[in-house]
Structure 1
């Protein structure tokens, strides 16, 4: 069955008949869950199954943002609380890579048990302490090399547990002076400065199956349009300098960094070179407009979507969850605030 080039959400913890009928008609490639959709393991598993049933595809991707820290959709009492990315980078040097991979492997264990097969992790943005805190402690390290090292460890941990990673926010959100959830950030750094710092982690992980774009204007590359809507930024920076040839999805199309009608936003992002539209808030009227502006997967985008799913490991790495949790807790003993 042909899928439309979009990933959509739903409004609550149970799929409504109206939503199911809409998804059946629209045929999105995948779905994304937020905290509003998640109550208990059994309820979440049932919702995941219902979403896939609505489009008649058992392999339909189901995504979630499960980073840890401020960005964690699954949490207590049913799932453990994970630390933000910065906490991994502050571990002793000899432990950082191991524990970052282990944390992601534990997250994959949680997600796979629910049928969730894609995590929007890792954050590969290199933080600038003088800029907006929207990235802040979500970043692994203050250096591009440290971000790349721990970002790859996180990808390895997720994939070992059968969950695909999405690297974000390509080509880099760390210099943004505003939160793109609320307004459109502009980065004034030169192309040379971006290549020397911001692009490095994305280049190092350009072999990953999926990436999420940044709703950020990079003035030296395109002074008018954010990366998500800029053919020049996507061609020159993302596909060119960085060399990423995997599936490129937008960040959430409902964020206030973008303007205009939702069908226009979707069409503009696809025209610019994004392969997949992401819309997260579950508003059915907005999703209907997104679907109107989104075409069915074809050509190179279809090939990338297929190739991304083919990267899902057929076998998960053997895993002792109790031992892994004990090792993880021991690594962070006394280091995390209550």
Structure 2
């Protein structure tokens, strides 16, 4: 039985220590970063090595959003625009924006699947607010909550059409954060009514997504003592009951500096709060070993959600007219792309 964890690895090949750790820890999945991606054949081989350690077709994740968040860079995959371009296009032609968002997500998914990667951590559903930290910025689909929900639906559907599971992030919303949670713990002081009307709306609209990722942010109006990742109140009352989200819920990276304390404690607290799976990204063996001590078997409702998500990944992909898709995508975005 897999454990409720997703791990990264240190480099482009697995060390004997990493392989032994993954065999023993048996994580639900893995995640790749730029440090793991040196060449096409190498990435395919690494994906095979990772799955071989757990003796099953475990999901392999990546953050391939386009723009500044792209772990696969040319020549591994084409350069893609940031997703705010879809929102800019929507101001000119909403229907073309929807087509572009779908096609862009499908192309991203095809880029990933060609290398053996089958989960792409898109879309960002955060609603950026004036004065907030730019960690979200042009990663957001729009500045309007309703349009983020509309375009986010296209990104979810396009990802699935391209053979990758999408991950909605960062629940329940990162758009108001005044700090980067990679570096420190943000605190949002806005009232519940404002959050419900704006920040939560895109997540409610896409509550049927198969996978979601939490935000390491304290919301005073929800739980002033714990960040969302560690808050049973936020996960149970807001994400599960309020949004109606029944997909597999993973933490954001446990090694981000927004969280403190031992990694075992971070993992235990996240799972006890209601997260289904913990995510640890940097490949540091000592940290992963500590996380593994706090991780538990993926069972019950969490296992059901994980199985339901994996069942959506098509193992046989239909023929795809990449040249035609690339040409159409460029044509659609021409009005909002500046060279």
- Asked if TM exceeds 0.5, the reply is yes
Q: How many angstroms apart in 2 are the aligned matches of 1:200 and 1:95?
A: 22
Deviating beyond 4 angstroms after TM superposition, the runs of 4 or more aligned structure 1 residues are none
- Return closer, same or farther for 1:114/1:203 CA change in 2, 3 Å cut-off: same
**Equivalent runs, 1:72-87 vs 2, <5 Å:** 72-87=70-85
**What SS does the aligned partner of 1:289 have?**
helix
Match of 1:35 in 2: 34
Q: How many angstroms apart in 1 are the aligned matches of 2:201 and 2:334?
A: 32
Match of 1:238 in 2: 239
Q: How many angstroms apart in 2 are the aligned matches of 1:315 and 1:239?
A: 32
**Equivalent runs, 1:74-113 vs 2, <5 Å:** 74-91=72-89, 92-93=92-93, 94-113=95-114
Alpha-carbon offset, residue 14 of structure 1: 0.9
Whether the 8 Å contact between 1:161 and 1:317 is mirrored in structure 2 is no
**Equivalent runs, 1:1-338 vs 2, <5 Å:** 2-57=1-56, 59-91=57-89, 92-93=92-93, 94-313=95-314, 315-316=316-317, 318-333=319-334, 335-338=336-339
Alpha-carbon offset, residue 328 of structure 1: 1.3
- Comparing 95-104 with 323-332, greater Cα deviation is found at 323-332
Q: How many angstroms apart in 1 are the aligned matches of 2:314 and 2:42?
A: 26
**What SS does the aligned partner of 2:323 have?**
helix
TM-score (norm 1): 0.97
**What SS does the aligned partner of 1:333 have?**
helix
Whether the 8 Å contact between 1:185 and 1:257 is mirrored in structure 2 is yes
Whether the 8 Å contact between 2:84 and 2:138 is mirrored in structure 1 is yes
Alpha-carbon offset, residue 287 of structure 1: 0.4
Whether the 8 Å contact between 2:88 and 2:336 is mirrored in structure 1 is no
Mind listing any 5+ residue stretches in structure 1 that lack a counterpart? none
Whether the 8 Å contact between 2:100 and 2:333 is mirrored in structure 1 is no
* Equivalent residue pairs, number: 336
Alpha-carbon offset, residue 311 of structure 1: 2.0
Whether the 8 Å contact between 2:222 and 2:234 is mirrored in structure 1 is yes
Q: How many angstroms apart in 2 are the aligned matches of 1:306 and 1:331?
A: 36
Q: How many angstroms apart in 2 are the aligned matches of 1:334 and 1:85?
A: 14
Mind listing any 5+ residue stretches in structure 2 that lack a counterpart? none
Tell me the alpha carbon deviations over residues 139-168 of structure 1, each in whole angstroms, 9 at most, x when there is no partner: 011111100011110111110111100000
- Return closer, same or farther for 1:299/1:305 CA change in 2, 3 Å cut-off: same
**What SS does the aligned partner of 1:197 have?**
helix
Alpha-carbon offset, residue 121 of structure 1: 0.3
Whether the 8 Å contact between 2:211 and 2:249 is mirrored in structure 1 is yes
